[in-house]
Amino acid sequence: SVRLEGESTVYTMESIKLYDGDKRTSFHDGTIEVTSHRILWSKSGTVLSLPLVTVGRCHYEEGGFLRSDKITFHFNNEEGSAFTRIGGKSNMEDLHRNIEIAIREQKWMVMPVKRPVKKEIRSGLAGIEKKIQQKSKNDDQKISKAFQDLDRLIDMAKPMVELSKSIATKLKDK
C-alpha cells in the first residue's frame, strides 16, 4: 500500500482474522501491519486500512481452548458502541502492546520538520513587495496542502464510518 507522509512500520504479524464486532468475516489468514499512522490488513492484493486516529481504545482478550486471542478496537464516534476485532493464535499480546504504543505516540499528528530557508535581504519598496508576494504564495501552498491532507483523512475514514454505521444498525436490529 502507499505510505502516508512520515509513516513507518511498527510491527507486522501473519495469520490474522478480522471480525465485524463479534461476527466472523471472510477476511482470514491475512497479514497485519501496524504503522505509525494506521493498521493495515492485507491478503492477495486486498488491503484494508484502519487509521489509528479513529481508534478510541483497544484491549486484549486471551483466547481459550478453542478460541483464538483477540484484540478489540472501539471507535471514536457519537454512538460509542461500534467496534471490530482481530484474532490470531500467537503473539497477540505483542501485537496489542505495539498497537497501544503507536496510538499513544500519535505520530500522525506530528508534522515533518523542514529546514529553514536561507533568507534574502531586500530593501526598499521592491523588497517589501517581493516579501509580501512570497508570504502570500507560501500561505496558499500551506492551505492547499492542509486541504489535501484533510481530504486524504476523510477518504481513509469513510470505510470506518460505513463499518460503524453497519455495526450500529445490526446492534439496533437485535
The pLDDT, as a whole number, for residue 168 is 84
Model confidence over 1-38: pLDDT tens digits?
A: 678 888 899 999 999 999 988 888 999 999 999 999 99
Is pLDDT at 65 greater than 90 in this prediction? no
The pLDDT, as a whole number, for residue 78 is 56
pTM for this one? 0.60
Q: What is the mean pLDDT of the chain?
A: 84
* Dihedral sign computed on CA atoms, order 69, 75, 58, 14: positive
Contact 48, 18 (CB under 8 A): yes
The pLDDT, as a whole number, for residue 119 is 59
